[in-house]
Amino acid sequence: MPSGKTPAEVWKSARQSKPIQCVFRLLKAMAGKRERCMYCEDSHGADIEHFRPKTSYPNHMFTWENLLLCCTECGRFKGDRFPLKDGLPLLVDPTAEEPWQFLDFDPTTGNIVARFDPALGDWTAKGGVTVEILHLNSREALASGCMKTYRRLKALVESATQQPAPNPRELEKSLQEADDHGLLGWCFAGTGIHTEPFSTLRKTHPRAWQHLQDSYFSANKMPMQAHGKREHEEEPRAKGAKHAKD
Ligand SMILES: [Zn+2]
């Protein structure tokens, strides 16, 4: 690092600079009106978090793809933790991956847990590590918030299944407004598709179901494309760190 400063010191002095303040505002704008943390989608995004920790990956300290909006709690739990397996991150990257491929929602407790992969006969390693690092299965406020959101989504879908021909666009709008915790991904791209009342909607109203699933996937392509795709093969502690210019 220049001037003998540690990565933490470099970041601390850059954090208040205009370019980094602008990045923070942009991340909040991209997170939507709720400005939720990109890891837990429960608490308010309070700061910029480095997906690859700045201490081990100083050359990623100012890389756009490495900067996430994060709540205080997730930031504290994650800290500098960033385990790899075969050179690839074991933490779910919320900007480049569908989290519900690796995570599951437990409707009996409200907890976020690792997703079981029947092909492996085991829980996904990435899901397990992500849950463990961020304590997603033991945060009371997170579980309580997820349960409230789940009940709202469930009630809306239950009501739709009882209608002969629910309006897919109106249903989509109501579900999006009710989804405070990103659980629509679990309903339409995760194991929720096999759970009542979502599985019933899928069978009894396939067109509405298809519309909801398509709209979920198309809506979630946009932030991923805008935020770019990460490169996963770089070695930590690479030389030639870049720094923000004030
Ligand atoms: Zn969080």
pLDDT tens digits, residue range 174-188? 999 999 999 999 998
What six digits make up the tokens of 31?
């997170």
Q: Is the pLDDT reported for residue 147 higher than 50?
A: yes
Query: What's the distance, CA 185 to chain centroid?
Result: 10
pLDDT tens digits, residue range 34-62? 899 999 998 889 999 999 999 999 999 99
Report the separation in Å between the CA atom of 139 and the middle of ligand 1, taken as the mean of its atom positions.
10
User: What pLDDT is recorded for position 222?
Assistant: 37
pTM of the model: 0.84
Report the separation in Å between the CA atom of 70 and the middle of ligand 1, taken as the mean of its atom positions.
5
Strand-pairing partners, residue 89, are 84
pLDDT tens digits, residue range 78-121? 999 999 999 999 999 998 998 999 999 999 999 999 999 989 89
Report the separation in Å between the CA atom of 142 and the middle of ligand 1, taken as the mean of its atom positions.
9
C-alpha span between 53 and 83 (Å, rounded) = 11
Residue 15: Cβ-neighbour burial (10 angstroms; 0-12, 13-18, 19+): middle
Report the separation in Å between the CA atom of 6 and the middle of ligand 1, taken as the mean of its atom positions.
26
Query: What's the distance, CA 43 to chain centroid?
Result: 12
Report the separation in Å between the CA atom of 176 and the middle of ligand 1, taken as the mean of its atom positions.
20
Short-list 123, 74, 132, 73, CA closest to 102: 123
C-alpha span between 53 and 66 (Å, rounded) = 9
Report the separation in Å between the CA atom of 236 and the middle of ligand 1, taken as the mean of its atom positions.
25
Report for 21-35, 60-74, 210-224: range of highest mean pLDDT: 60-74
Task: Please report, for the chain, the start and end positions of each structural domain, with discontinuous segments joined by +.
Answer: 1-75
Q: Is the pLDDT reported for residue 146 higher than 90?
A: yes
Q: Is the pLDDT reported for residue 245 higher than 50?
A: no
Report the separation in Å between the CA atom of 246 and the middle of ligand 1, taken as the mean of its atom positions.
29
Q: What is the average per-residue pLDDT within 216-227?
A: 55
Report the separation in Å between the CA atom of 54 and the middle of ligand 1, taken as the mean of its atom positions.
19
C-alpha span between 118 and 201 (Å, rounded) = 24
Judge whether 216 and 184 are in contact, CB under 8 Å.
Answer: yes
Report the separation in Å between the CA atom of 133 and the middle of ligand 1, taken as the mean of its atom positions.
12
